[in-house]
Each structure stands twice: as C-alpha cells, then as structure tokens.
Structure 1
Amino acid sequence: MVVAANRARPPMLETRGLTIRFGGHVAVNAVSCAFRPGELTCIVGPNGAGKTTYFNLISGQLPASDGQILLDGQDVTRLPVSQRARRGIGRAFQLTSLFPNLPVLENVRLAVQARQQRGIDLLSMWTSHRGVRAQAEACLDRVALAGKRHLPVAALPHGDQRKLEVGILLALQPRIFMFDEPTAGMSVDEVPVILDLIREIRQDRSRTVLLVEHKMDVVRSLADRIIVLHNGTLMADGNPAEVIASPIVQQAYLGVAEAGASAEAGHA
C-alpha cells in the first residue's frame, strides 16, 4: 500500500537512459528508473551487474556517456559530486572513505560543519561549537560508536568503520540516502544496528533510500521495491515478492539456470 501511494508522488530522483561505456564495454545500459520519497529500493544483481557503477553515476563519481539524471525534475547529469551533495544526494561507499588519523568524533563533526556551512575555511572547520559537537555525538550514539569517539579511525575494526560511514551520512542529513552494501564486513551482532537505522530513515516519508545489497534476507526485510540489474541492463522492477520469484531473476541472480544446466551436464 505504501508503494502504491508513493507511485502517485513525483519522483525525487530519476535516471533516463543512463549509460556508461568503458571502451567497448557497456557497464550500465540505458537504465531508466524513478525513485520517489518514502520508498526504499533495493538494487540487486550478480557480481559485475553494474550496481555500484549505477550508484557512481548517480552520485557523480563517474560521468555518464549518455542519458540523464534528474533531481526534483532538474538535470544534474553534469554537476560535480559536491553540488549533487549540496542538493541532497548522500552516499555511503562500499569501501570506507574516512580520515584515518583523526578521531572518530572529529570525522563526524566535520560532516556536521560541512552541512551547516558554505565556503568553510580551515579556521572555522576546527573551531569548537557546542551545537556541532552535540549533533556529532548524537550521530555516534545512533551507530553505537559513542564509546569510541576519541579513538583514531585507523584503530577501528572494519565493521566499526562501516558504522562510522553511516554516522557521517546521518550527519550530512541528505534527502536521498544511498547505501552500498552497508553491512559488508560486519559481525552478526553489529548488523542489526545498521538495519534498524535504515528502517528508521525509511519512516521519514520525505526521504528516498537506495540500497545495494547481496544478502537476500536483508533485501526481504527492508525493501519496498526491488530493481534487478544484469550485465548493466535493468531486467526487473517491482514488488519484492514478485521480483524475487520471477524466473528471469531466479536464473540470472539466484543461479537456478546454472544449477539446472549443471545437472543436465552431469547426466550427459
């Protein structure tokens, strides 16, 4: 019912025929999708399907070869990463992108300052403001890192660095949250913290959430909608149960066809 209601709302983010080529290889092939506020979309597909590349195109890490990216109906295809971020596109990376020699709290505090200020100079970045610190502390509480606020990031285990990435994204308060395998490298005990945060973000119907994820149990528990990429092409888009059960997804993503082919080969 939530998804049906969202379909009546204008998209916050849209890609139209979005394509990128690396030499003769088409990594993302004319993908057209609209993403609306209040909707959590999981992007799935086999390794090499183009999921992270599609994210890189949307957030600006890669330039599109063809097609458009629209934010609130305005073309942002040629805007740099910084301008897209200022307009509300927030990205947590598959690999950590942090300041390893700074304390955990300082990483988040800088993100809060970046959101609040335009044209930040070095002096203002390092000036202590009680309100900024309080906001940074609150973000660390939400990702269960308050007890490690004074540690240098380099001293954190990989799972905690992933949590810190999410904390920084929270500090930026984007309108579009993009998570690329946010639970990768986390222990079983750590995963619920991040999943609960993503559920909390989804409750804000003014936000749009995009999630690249391999773990189908995570996808099932979070997704309002699933889109499937295969060889850079959009091959399915819709209700999670229907998409997961579709033969084309079973074959391309879950390997059903391969299993069948192997069985036939064994009988040959």
Structure 2
Amino acid sequence: MSTLATRDLTIRFGGHVAVNAVTCAFEPGTLTAIVGPNGAGKTTYFNLISGQLKASSGSVTLGGQELTGQSVSARTHAGLGRAFQLTNLFPNLTVLENVRLAVQATRDGKHRHGLNLWSIWSDHRALTTRAEEILDTVAMHERRDTPVASLPHGDQRKLEVALLMALEPQVYMFDEPTAGMSHDEAPVILNLIRELKKDKTKIILLVEHKMDVVRELADRIIVLTNGTLVADGLPAEVIASPVVQEAYLGVSKEPGKETAA
C-alpha cells in the first residue's frame, strides 16, 4: 500500500510564504484532518498536493512516485482524488452521464486499447452498470436522469463524492465537504466518508472548520498556521494542546468556554 508524502513543500506568492516547508506523510487506513485558522494555508497545501498550484520548492510523492512536476490529470491517474469546495460538475448532463464519464475516464486511463464495435458496445454497458452501482452507494439512483443543474446543493455534493468514487483513487481529498450544506444535508456526506474509511487501503485527507466533524471522523489531526505545520498527532492529544486550543482552534483560555467549533 502506498504512502502519500510531502517533503519541505513550499509556495511563495511574492514575499509571502503561504506554505512553509511542510514535511508530512499520510498512511493508508488513516483519515487525517487538516485544521487551523483562516488563512493558515490548509487549502493551499491541498492545492500543492493535487497540482492546482506549482510548488516553489519541495516535493510530493505517492508510493515513492514523484508527483511534484506532474499535471493535475497525471496526479489523478496516479491515484489522487480531489473534491472541491465548489462543485466541479457538468451541469447540462444528467447525474448518470456525469458518473459514467468519470468511470470511462478512469478505465481509459488504466486500460487503453484499440477500438472495435464489440468493445464499444460492451464497454458502454459495463460503464453504465458501474455508474449505476456507484449511484446506489450514494443513494442517488432515483436521480439518475436528472440534469445536474437542477439538483439541490446537497445532492450536488453527493454527486461529487460519486465522481470521486468513480475515479477509484488511492487518496481521497475533501476540502470542507459540508460547506454550504444545511443541517439536514450534512450527515449524508459524513456518512459517505465514514463508509470510505472502512477501506483500509485508502488514504483520506480532510480540511474542515467544524471541530465536531473533525473529532468524530479523524484518526489524526495536523495543524497549520501561517503555512507552517505546528502540531501533529492523535485527535485527543492535539485538541487538548493549550497552544492549539488558544491560538489555532479559537478556544477561549477560560475553562469550559469554546469560542469556535
């Protein structure tokens, strides 16, 4: 099983260091929550790992494979799966068509072969079957023929998870997966992440501001502030750390008073 690792990963915007020499390794079977105050560099760190941003220095590897200079699509084929804060879907296509395209892209990348009439017909059936299986998993089969543009926000986020599953990644990356969701919608996404956690061959990274979500889901927490890694450990240990509580998680110094969750 592959380890995802960053070594001295850094990005500078002019004179500002947004991510500062972050060295960290993520193992299969572990959900790691990345937390910290606004502007700490959490999403920027995500963008460096997934390739949306080019590092000023340092490296990203997965299973020993160097990803640092590779494109987003190359990293996706290597096993990185990224869900965005804002949904990244094809709004004019149906739910099923969106998932089928993701399944097709994955299979084309893994099994390139010459085209013939038999392969086109059989592959089309296989792609549709696999897409419908994924929609069953995320409880969206009844929406299969619905245009994505007409979906409520919560269903769009569920579909985004379905697309990630279709890519069959080694690494699942979630950037505030419940952002913009109602109190009733959020548990659906969290339940999907819980199901993904059962596969101990996968690595899951989660950026999340809601500490109740972090406490429940995380096996490990790392804390960034000003782009620097300042804490790394088991959730209870990190959350109990006075410096983390006071400076990075917005918890008051007064016992029993929490100013942010």
TM-score (normalised: structure 1): 0.87
Aligned partner of residue 177 in structure 1, secondary structure: strand
Aligned residues: 250
Aligned partner of 1:156 among 127, 151, 170:
151
The residue aligned with 1:222 is 217
The residue aligned with 2:16 is 25
Over residues 185-242 of structure 1, what are the superposed CA-to-partner deviations in whole Å (9 max), with x where a residue is unaligned? 2222222222122112111111111011111111111110000111111010001011
Aligned partner of 1:77 among 68, 76, 83:
68
- 1:62-141 matches, within 5 Å, as 62-118=53-109, 129-141=124-136
Structure 1 residue 149: deviation in Å? 1.4
8 A contact 1:68–1:75 mirrored in 2: yes
1:39 alignment partner AA: T
Which ranges in structure 2 are unaligned for 5 or more consecutive residues? 256-261
1:173 aligns with 2:168: yes
1:234 alignment partner AA: L
C-alpha distance in structure 1 between counterparts of 2:113 and 2:157, whole Å: 26
Structure 1 residue 94: deviation in Å? 0.9
C-alpha distance in structure 2 between counterparts of 1:90 and 1:219, whole Å: 20
Which ranges in structure 1 are unaligned for 5 or more consecutive residues? 1-9, 261-268
C-alpha distance in structure 2 between counterparts of 1:56 and 1:30, whole Å: 15
2:22 alignment partner AA: V
1:206 alignment partner AA: T
Aligned partner of 1:235 among 222, 230, 249:
230
8 A contact 2:157–2:189 mirrored in 1: no
Aligned partner of 1:52 among 40, 43, 46:
43
Structure 1 residue 12: deviation in Å? 1.1
C-alpha distance in structure 1 between counterparts of 2:164 and 2:113, whole Å: 19
The answer to which of 251-260 and 199-208 deviates more is 251-260
The residue aligned with 2:32 is 41
Aligned partner of residue 117 in structure 1, secondary structure: helix
1:186 aligns with 2:160: no
Aligned partner of 1:16 among 3, 7, 23:
7
1:147 aligns with 2:142: yes
C-alpha distance in structure 1 between counterparts of 2:246 and 2:85, whole Å: 26
Over residues 7-50 of structure 1, what are the superposed CA-to-partner deviations in whole Å (9 max), with x where a residue is unaligned? xxx86100001000111111111111000111110011111111
2:160 alignment partner AA: E
The residue aligned with 1:263 is none
Aligned partner of residue 163 in structure 1, secondary structure: helix
C-alpha distance in structure 1 between counterparts of 2:92 and 2:113, whole Å: 21
* Distance change (3 Å), C-alpha of 1:97 and 1:258: farther
Structure 1 residue 254: deviation in Å? 2.6
Aligned partner of residue 249 in structure 2, secondary structure: coil
8 A contact 1:11–1:34 mirrored in 2: no
C-alpha distance in structure 2 between counterparts of 1:211 and 1:248, whole Å: 22
TM-score (normalised: structure 2): 0.89
C-alpha distance in structure 2 between counterparts of 1:41 and 1:183, whole Å: 16
1:213 aligns with 2:208: yes
* Distance change (3 Å), C-alpha of 1:101 and 1:254: same
Aligned partner of residue 181 in structure 2, secondary structure: coil
Structure 1 residue 120: deviation in Å? 9.5
1:185 alignment partner AA: G
Give the superposed CA RMSD. 2.4
2:185 alignment partner AA: E
* Distance change (3 Å), C-alpha of 1:22 and 1:44: same
